[in-house]
Structure 1
Amino acid sequence: MSETPESQTSQTPQAPQRRTPLLVLVWLWVGVPFVYGLYELFQKVVQLFGG
């Protein structure tokens, strides 16, 4: 009736190894422009409020 914690963790699906490069590429595709945007935002805030 009730499942043990071991059986619940063994049923957890795991990503195949072949998808790892794709996941890295997708995160870089999103992350690099996001970090660049934060950098530009920080520069503009410093110009606006600091000098």
Structure 2
Amino acid sequence: MSAEGTEQQTESHTVRIAAAWTLVGVPLAYGLVETLRRAANLFSG
């Protein structure tokens, strides 16, 4: 296997990991923000 092939696989793998974390992280962050907003309303009256 050449060094170019390994480098290309690493870049592809990095892009896939970043895309997966984005797909998970964005809804997770949104849910966390909404939960904190509603909890603040609950305790503020």
Report the TM-score when normalising by structure 2.
0.71
Q: What is the aligned residue count?
A: 37
- What is the Cα deviation at residue 18 of structure 1? 1.6
Q: 1:41 aligns with which of 35, 39, 42?
A: 35
1:21 equivalent in structure 2: 15
Q: 1:31 aligns with which of 18, 25, 28?
A: 25
Task: Measure, in 1, the Cα distance between the counterparts of 2:12 and 2:34.
Answer: 35
Task: Measure, in 2, the Cα distance between the counterparts of 1:34 and 1:40.
Answer: 10
- What is the Cα deviation at residue 16 of structure 1? 2.5
Name segments (4+ residues, structure 1) moved above 4 Å.
none
Structure with the higher fraction of residues in helix conformation: 2
Q: Give unpaired runs (5+ residues) of structure 1.
A: 1-14
